Structure 1
Amino acid sequence: AVGSGSSGGFCSPIGVAPQNPGNSGSTGSSAANCATGLPRPTNTPGNVTAYQTANQANVFIPRLPRYGRLTHHQERLGLTGALQWRPADSTTVSLDILYSQLDSTRQEDFLQAMSFSRNAAAGGQTQVIVREAAVENNTLVYGLFDNVDVRSESRFDQLETQFLQVGLTLDHDFSDTVRGRFFAGRAESNYENPYQTTVTLDRQNTAGYSFDFRGNPNTPLINYGFDVTDPAAWGWLPIGSSVPRSEIRIRPQGVDTVFQSLQADLEYDVSPFVTLQTGVNWKTFSSESYEFRRADETVVPALPAGVTMADITTLLTGFGGGFTPSGSTTGWVIPDLNALADLFNIYCNCNTGLPGGDFTLGSITVGNARGGNRFLEEEDVALYVQANFDADVFGRPIRGNVGVRHVWTSLYAEGYSSTGGGTLVFDTHEYQDTLPSLNLTYEPFDNVLVRFGAAKVMARPQINNSMSGANYLVPTTSLNATGPNYTATIGNVELEPFRAKTYDFAVEWYFAPESLISFAYFYKDIDTYIQVVRQDLSYEQLTALNPSAFDPSFCFGSCSPTTIFALTSAVNTDGGPL
């Protein structure tokens, strides 16, 4: 749901002062900003009451009321294999392989009213006439409206993922007291979404549209005001039509990830009570993503002569079995994606020469697709040494280990910003940590264990964490300057890891078989967190924060230096005791 004034408010009756509970400058105060289909409502008590009820400042309305059906099909193949060879009693070689392939399709069909979440420029809320309205708990639960734009939207995805993991392990005993292990592994995942196609049919300025959530908020009754199963009742709105126009969105995308690791360990029995371990570990993780889109998805060619809506549509049936209340929609006309693909040659990746028929796909050249093209690589090296012991103190057993690990971390990230001309941005970050640890377990009495542990620990920023659809480590910027909600994001490759000092103490009494009484205490002194922070800044403050990313002239015509943006970014913040 959205606030009633977030898109400028509804169309006010003639002669009624408009209520504009939002900060939009587009209100229903004049014929130019009001209905483009049916005329503005007359000044009658019923029209005024309905308008004032629905347009209150604190009343929330359904943002995109719709019915939808999602159809999924998946097919998975998995193979595992292991080969082990022992050339000598002291040596074992193991090879492990895992392969997986997942193929799936997804069909999404929606019947929706878009006007309630759109502003005047997009044919939105300011053009909607309210005939009847009911509010419960500050929510518009019922309404009867005119001049509502209705859309039938179909999306088809073909998705393919292949995964291959190979691991090689060599174990060797150099002597009775010295052992070694070497490991090499590689895992690669290739995800492709070669077909992600969305097509819409539209009907503008519908009269008699209603939704009713009263008594049944989970399955509302929606009446669209016309026969949604009749192809002739729908429109194919090509280039040159008023908004909202029909759309053809083509957005193939994919992600390739590779994880590689090398590790060597050596173990030496110093005595029957003490064992020394040491080793080195190297690993690297990389992720590369891509996305392609049309330059303008909101323009489509006109239907050729002789082609009707029945030729490019099909009927969805059997929807919502068992829905209540009775009378809910059970089917509607949807775009026939195959027919439209054949008609307009939409997958040619070319300009067909027809007005609105440019189906050339771009990645970094298309603003909305730039953010999907990014690359990250993290490389980690670690050295460690550790002593394990198992002995007696005062005639009672004590065991544990003490050691230290030193790690180096190097990160490289690049991507394309949607601001500042959409240029390639990249950065690196390096840091290192020394991490000592101690673990003790003492048995002062039979069946009683006293445990103590202390360590310095760290956890790196997660590579796959996202923020507003983009990875929060990639140093790119994005900006939504079209309103009514103005937002911005900045990635931060220089994030430091979570760091903490931890202490644990526990007493355990195993007083009977399968029985335990225990007491445990832990304390963590956390040095720093990673948090996604949101703050409100004017565009002027954004440009001062990062002049190269937020060009002062970029916002010209769509916002002003004092326009407030909600800026989202990931930062290191102070920690605290836990």
Structure 2
Amino acid sequence: MKKFYIKPLVAAIALTAAGQGYAQEASAENTLEEVVVTGFRGSLQSSLNTKRDSVGVVDAIYAEDIADFPDNNLAESLQRIPGVAISRAGGEGQQITVRGLGPDYTRIRINGMESMSSTGGTDAIGGNNRGRGFDFNTFSSDLFSNLIVSKTNSAEIEEGSLGATVDLKTARPMELDDFVLSVGGNLNYNDKSEKVDPKIAVMVSKQFSDTFGALLSVSYADRNITDEGNSTVRWATYPDVGSYRGITDPTLSPELARLEETEEDRRLFHPRIPRYDSYTHEITRTGVAATFQWLPTDATDIVLDVLYSKHDATRNEIFMQGIGNSTADYDDYNFTDYEIDGQTIVYAAISNANAQVENRFDELTTEFQQVTLSATHEFTDRLRMNVLLGNSSSEFSNPVQTTIIARANGVGMTWDYRGDSADTLLTWGEDAYDESSYTLSGIRQRPQGTNNEFTNLTADLEFDFNDSVTLKAGVTSKSFKFDTYQSRYATNEGAKGLTIAGNMYEYDSGLGDGRAWLVPDLDKFIDAGILSNSGDFALSPRTNDIYAVEEDTTSLFTQVDFNTQLGEMPLSGNFGFRFFSTDQASTGWFENSEGNDVQEWVEHSYDDILPALNLRLEPMEDVVFRFSVSEGITRGGLSSLRADQGVSVNGSSYTITGGNPFLEPTKATSYDAGIELYITDTSAMSMTVFKKEIGSHIQRLRDQKTPAELGIPASEVAAQCENAAQNPESCNVNAVFDRSVPLNGPGGDLHGFEWQLQGDFGAFGDAWANVGYIANYTYVKTELAYLNEFGAVDVVANLQNLSEVTKSATLYYENDVFSARIALVDRSDYLTDPRGRDSNNQHGTYGTSNVDFSSSYQFNDNLKFNFDISNLTNQGDDQWVDREDLRLSYYHETGTQVSLGAQYKF
């Protein structure tokens, strides 16, 4: 086979000096001496080896890379992989999007088993995670030895992903030295919270004999985050304004007439709730990973993994806000000045606007547990078996979510959105700072939670027909259980006989014009019994937010792996099929014959066969071509699957609304083709193009069904027909109803490319050999038709969470004692709602650019010091509504974090 060489000049120009060690062209007779590379370069070498040796498209991060970056959690580690973008909560990474496909399209496996973890976020990011997206902020990076992202499918990989399958793996004691002890600690300072937080990680591994070893990792971290900015809770249009400078007749005031523009497509938008937000997050993250590995024979490897993580948090949200979401209030407002840009009132002074202050407090806990027992055994040199049995559970609880709201009428305010998002200025009249202006207007308590559980049993066999062909076959039995709940006060959420007088305090956020706000004193209201769950404060289940989904799946696969020659070119690959069958059940609330609401189950089943083909060709040494084609599915969103099918009868109008327990999975055919050039052990360049033909896209659409087909009890339908005085002979469970629910609407094509480059500047001389770089660029594009409920095209747009461009770049320096690197991770704008609400055309988030710095000094063989800075530029979270006017929806900053630490290894 021919060998591919790169001369120094070509390497310097085409690869920016990626060709380390190629100052002279090597000859076929050269003998290479093996060099063991450690540190950051070692992790890069391991990552490249994994990418190079795989048959499909794979990217990886190994332990040194994770430990040496200033990452708060696993999501922030993963964002450095090509095509991976992250969304943040409270200033740290929470969920990932891969090649434009959001969290619900990605499967996460921990030590080989599918798992799920959910936490609770602010309202701006969706609150309680009731979806399939994995919340990475549950875990610290310290517990894991490597992360592997498989972007193409093979038959042996379980179904469920259209974006990627991400494998998180903990370390194995028999793969380490006889005894390893690592103790690390950091002190982290955030310039916005102005607090110092500790982080501790300990790992000990011991081989007690040649056949048995144990490993224990423990991590603990505190984090205090001040998360502040401003928001509008969307923008709205109302046709009427009370007055302009006291004039109430629009025929007498052109300014008032302009404010009250009555033509539907000319109405002006104003902020619904213009406000300042001051959030304080206090997070404690505790993690434990234990591994016991037994090698009873040379042919057997048995591993028991135990993983535990607890994410404890409190969040205090304090708002100072104006009222613009009430038509009654807005109709009385007297504008004294305003400015319009497009269809947006970007500046307004209202002499008698109403103000409101809120104090909300949440307690949040996620407890994750997973136990897996895996074994591999070689019966002969040609026959092997792999078995895995495991259970994982994630329990998210938000037992306290209480809010106190006080209102001051007629105090006046101004809003000014004429500058950048960070320059928004809101002001209120003097009476807004006088306690006597306020009345208690609301008390809320909304405890809630979400539970996820997986139980897996997998067994497969591998048989080598010869040195070139291996047959694999296996079976998986998987059970997934999900349930979520919420309660609220049984009676109204008003003042409940309490008063605000004497129950406020001054809160100096530093936002706005610098004056301290008057805020309800939450502790005093708690002392008054608002959390007692008794009397006026008794809680009642909220059935709209109580539902469950269960899925039992059995799958079989067969796959042929081959390794042969195409002429003189090595050719390897695999092809095969996976058959799966899923029995699904979901709950909904229905009225029984006694007139009581009861929760009942609705069942549905589906199955499919998914083929996959992956090819890897080396046309010359150090050059790899790849091609993959496969079919895959992603199951419907959990909230869409709930069986809360509400029946409504109004005259001759028979309708069903709610979820859809009969929703089919989204299916896609994926194509990947790539070329990779490996220059040295740590230098490479690759380009991959990809396309996904997405067969369907879940949207809320209309069709016609009978309640009997949908499993809706006859008693529920009869009750509605009776209330509407309809003839039971024509209005019954077998009548045809118009249904408006999530359905499998038309799909579309997603296409793009990934480019990746890494290397060093050794081609410019030995002095530059310690300086290196990593860069990647991903472009993704798709156009999906979003239909209205009648099936007509409403808008053509990208998928939710899809950034058309994601890119990152790292510049590093490393020698035997000192290492430093600076990294940029960038994602472009993306949609959060392709349609929009309140007549706003789409909702979205501006792109982000996060810059981190990391450095370390190896004092001796055992002791290392590190200094890191994350979010150097204090990147904000900037969200907008309406594609045309880009109205501010939410803008927050969380500050820059500086970390100083040390690590001792023995």
> TM-score, length-normalised on structure 2?
0.48
CA drift at 1:389: 2.2
The code of the aligned residue for 2:641 comes to L
The code of the aligned residue for 2:579 comes to H
**Alignment partners' CA distance in 2, 1:342 and 1:71:** 22
Q: Which residue of 1 aligns with 2:293?
A: 84
CA drift at 1:291: 0.6
Say whether residues 1:118 and 2:326 are aligned partners. yes
Say whether residues 1:100 and 2:309 are aligned partners. yes
**Alignment partners' CA distance in 1, 2:447 and 2:233:** 31
TM-superposition CA deviations, 1:49-74 (whole Å, max 9, x none): 44223222432112111122111111
> Does the C-alpha gap of structure 1 residues 268 and 134 become closer, same or farther in structure 2, counting only changes over 3 Å?
closer
TM-superposition CA deviations, 1:436-476 (whole Å, max 9, x none): 33333445655665544443x12122545xxxxxx112132
Q: Which residue of 2 aligns with 1:261?
A: 456
> Does the C-alpha gap of structure 1 residues 103 and 479 become closer, same or farther in structure 2, counting only changes over 3 Å?
farther
Q: Match for 1:437 among 612, 622, 625?
A: 612
Say whether residues 1:156 and 2:361 are aligned partners. yes
Q: Match for 2:350 among 145, 152, 158?
A: 145
Contact 2:349 2:415 in 1 (8 A): yes
Say whether residues 1:211 and 2:408 are aligned partners. no
CA drift at 1:266: 1.1
Q: Match for 1:362 among 535, 540, 543?
A: 540
Q: Match for 1:10 among 214, 219, 241?
A: 241
The code of the aligned residue for 1:113 comes to G
Q: Match for 2:392 among 175, 187, 196?
A: 187
Say whether residues 1:532 and 2:699 are aligned partners. yes
CA drift at 1:101: 0.8
Contact 2:666 2:698 in 1 (8 A): no
Q: Which residue of 2 aligns with 1:389?
A: 562
**Alignment partners' CA distance in 2, 1:153 and 1:554:** 40
CA drift at 1:269: 1.9
Contact 1:47 1:132 in 2 (8 A): no
* Higher RCO structure (Cα 8 Å, ≥6 apart): 2
Contact 2:666 2:697 in 1 (8 A): yes
Q: Which residue of 1 aligns with 2:216?
A: none
Q: Which residue of 2 aligns with 1:476?
A: 644
**Alignment partners' CA distance in 1, 2:524 and 2:659:** 42
CA drift at 1:87: 2.7
| 1:225-374 → structure 2 map (5 Å cutoff) | 225-236=429-440, 246-303=441-498, 309-310=501-502, 312-320=503-511, 328-343=513-528, 345-351=529-535, 358-363=536-541, 369-374=542-547
**Alignment partners' CA distance in 2, 1:128 and 1:253:** 37
> Does the C-alpha gap of structure 1 residues 534 and 71 become closer, same or farther in structure 2, counting only changes over 3 Å?
farther
CA drift at 1:191: 0.8
**Alignment partners' CA distance in 2, 1:518 and 1:348:** 61
> Does the C-alpha gap of structure 1 residues 223 and 521 become closer, same or farther in structure 2, counting only changes over 3 Å?
closer
**Greater Rg over alpha carbons, structure:** 1
TM-superposition CA deviations, 1:162-209 (whole Å, max 9, x none): 1111111122222222211211111111111111000111122x1543
Q: Which residue of 2 aligns with 1:559?
A: none
**Alignment partners' CA distance in 2, 1:82 and 1:4:** 53
CA drift at 1:309: 1.3
**Alignment partners' CA distance in 2, 1:568 and 1:253:** 27
The code of the aligned residue for 2:480 comes to F
The code of the aligned residue for 1:333 comes to L
**Alignment partners' CA distance in 1, 2:278 and 2:453:** 35
Q: Match for 1:458 among 623, 629, 632?
A: 632
**Alignment partners' CA distance in 1, 2:274 and 2:724:** 31
Contact 2:235 2:271 in 1 (8 A): no
> TM-score, length-normalised on structure 1?
0.73
**Alignment partners' CA distance in 2, 1:450 and 1:43:** 73
1:228 is paired with a residue of what secondary structure?
helix
Contact 1:425 1:476 in 2 (8 A): no
Contact 2:699 2:745 in 1 (8 A): no
2:641 is paired with a residue of what secondary structure?
coil
> Does the C-alpha gap of structure 1 residues 83 and 301 become closer, same or farther in structure 2, counting only changes over 3 Å?
same
The code of the aligned residue for 2:658 comes to I
1:52 is paired with a residue of what secondary structure?
helix
Contact 1:370 1:417 in 2 (8 A): no
The code of the aligned residue for 1:336 comes to D
Report sequence identity in percent. Answer: 31
> Does the C-alpha gap of structure 1 residues 460 and 289 become closer, same or farther in structure 2, counting only changes over 3 Å?
same
**Alignment partners' CA distance in 1, 2:647 and 2:337:** 38
> Does the C-alpha gap of structure 1 residues 549 and 143 become closer, same or farther in structure 2, counting only changes over 3 Å?
farther
Contact 2:357 2:518 in 1 (8 A): yes
> Does the C-alpha gap of structure 1 residues 333 and 505 become closer, same or farther in structure 2, counting only changes over 3 Å?
closer
TM-superposition CA deviations, 1:325-380 (whole Å, max 9, x none): xxx2521111111111222x1222111xxxxxx111010xxxxx222211011222
Unaligned stretches of 5+ residues in structure 2? 1-231, 649-655, 726-738, 751-906
> Does the C-alpha gap of structure 1 residues 228 and 46 become closer, same or farther in structure 2, counting only changes over 3 Å?
farther
| 1:164-179 → structure 2 map (5 Å cutoff) | 164-179=369-384
Contact 2:404 2:522 in 1 (8 A): yes
Say whether residues 1:497 and 2:682 are aligned partners. no
User: Structure 1 stretch 446-455 or stretch 86-95: which is displaced more?
Assistant: 446-455
The code of the aligned residue for 1:255 comes to T
CA drift at 1:128: 2.2
CA drift at 1:287: 1.0
**Alignment partners' CA distance in 1, 2:669 and 2:426:** 57
2:401 is paired with a residue of what secondary structure?
strand
TM-superposition CA deviations, 1:129-171 (whole Å, max 9, x none): 3333332333213333244332111100011111111111122
> Does the C-alpha gap of structure 1 residues 101 and 511 become closer, same or farther in structure 2, counting only changes over 3 Å?
closer
Q: Which residue of 2 aligns with 1:428?
A: 603
Contact 1:473 1:492 in 2 (8 A): yes
Say whether residues 1:66 and 2:275 are aligned partners. yes
**Alignment partners' CA distance in 2, 1:152 and 1:462:** 39
> Does the C-alpha gap of structure 1 residues 162 and 10 become closer, same or farther in structure 2, counting only changes over 3 Å?
same
Contact 1:452 1:505 in 2 (8 A): yes
The code of the aligned residue for 2:501 comes to M
Contact 1:165 1:186 in 2 (8 A): yes
The code of the aligned residue for 1:398 comes to L
The code of the aligned residue for 2:326 comes to R
Q: Match for 2:586 among 405, 409, 413?
A: 413
Contact 1:371 1:417 in 2 (8 A): no
Contact 1:54 1:133 in 2 (8 A): no
2:432 is paired with a residue of what secondary structure?
coil
CA drift at 1:499: 2.6
